Amino acid sequence: MGTDSNTRSDSVPQGIHDLIARGALFVVNHSSGKDSQAMFIMLRAIIPARQLLVIHAVLPEVEWEGVTEHIEDTIGETPMIFAQSVKTLFEMVEHRGMFPSPANRQCTSDLKRGPIEREIRRYLKAHPEFGGLVVNCMGMRAEESTGRAKLEPFKLNAGNSKAGREWYDWLPIHDMTEGEVFNAIHLAGEQPHWAYGAGMTRLSCCFCIMASQADLTTAAHLNPTLYRRYVETEQRLGFTLSMSRKPLTEITGIAA
C-alpha cells in the first residue's frame, strides 16, 4: 500500500491502523457519487488491495444511467458485489401510499442499509479468511447537514457484532469539504459521474426526497420519462415526493 497527499492519513483513527494490521475486510459503500468515489480513492491508498471490497446498492428504475459502469471504471481490480432489496422504490411507495420523508427514510433503511448489511454478512460467511472482522466504510460528510455533522466517525457496531463477527462503522471522509472531494477525484486523474457535469449537485436516486429545487428541475430535464412516472404517482396517491410538500410540477415548472 502507498500514501499520497490525498490519503489524509493524519485523520485516520489509530483503531483503523490496528484493524488493517489484523487483516480486517474494508467494505466500501459506493453509490457512484462524488463522495463514494473520493472515499475509495482515499482507502485504496492506505488499505491493502486484498482487504478491499466495494458494494453497491442497486436501485432499479430510479438510479442514474451508467452508475455501475462508472464504479467499475474507477475501482480497478477491486472486487465488487451488489445488494438489492426485494421491493423497488415504487413498490414501497405503492404499498405505503406515500413517498419516504426525512423523518421516515425507508428508502435508506430498506433499499440500501438493510440489503448492504445482509450482503456483507453473506460475504463474511463465504470468506472465513477475514475471521468475521469487518469495517463498513460510508461516505457521509459533516458538511452535508447538521445531522451528519453529529455522526460518530468511527465506532463499533454492536448490533452487527454477533455470531462470530466484529463489525465497525467508519466514515473516512467525514471531515472533508465538497471542494476537497472534487479535488481528490481530479488529482487521481478521474472524473465524477456524468450527472454532475450535467448540472446535478448530488447523486442518489434521480429524484430524491432531499433534493433541491435546482436538482429536481435538472433531473426532470434529463429523465423525462421517469419524471412523468413520479408526477403521475404523486397525483394518484395525493402525496408529494418533496419535503416542501409542493408537487413536482410546481417545483420544477415542467409539465409531465
pLDDT digit of tens for each residue in the chain (256 aa)? 433 444 454 579 999 999 999 999 999 999 999 999 999 999 999 999 999 999 999 999 999 999 999 999 999 999 999 999 999 999 999 999 999 987 788 888 999 999 999 999 999 999 999 999 999 999 999 999 999 999 999 999 999 999 999 999 999 999 999 999 999 999 999 999 999 999 999 998 999 998 999 999 999 999 999 999 999 999 999 999 988 889 999 999 999 8
- Is residue 161 within 8 A of residue 124, CB to CB? The reply is no
CATH architecture of 9-178: 3-Layer(aba) Sandwich (3.40)
**How far is C-alpha 115 from the chain's CA centre?**
13
Residue 90 corresponds to which cell in the numbers above? 415504487
- The domain spans of the chain are 9-178, 206-256
167-170, long-range: CB within 8 Å, 24+ apart, which pairs? Answer: 167/134, 167/135, 167/136, 168/15, 168/19, 168/24, 168/134, 168/135, 168/136, 169/135, 169/136, 169/138, 170/13, 170/16, 170/135, 170/136, 170/137, 170/138
Nearest to 171 by CA among 194, 151, 196, 192: 151
Q: What is the CB neighbour count within 10 angstroms for residue 95?
A: 10
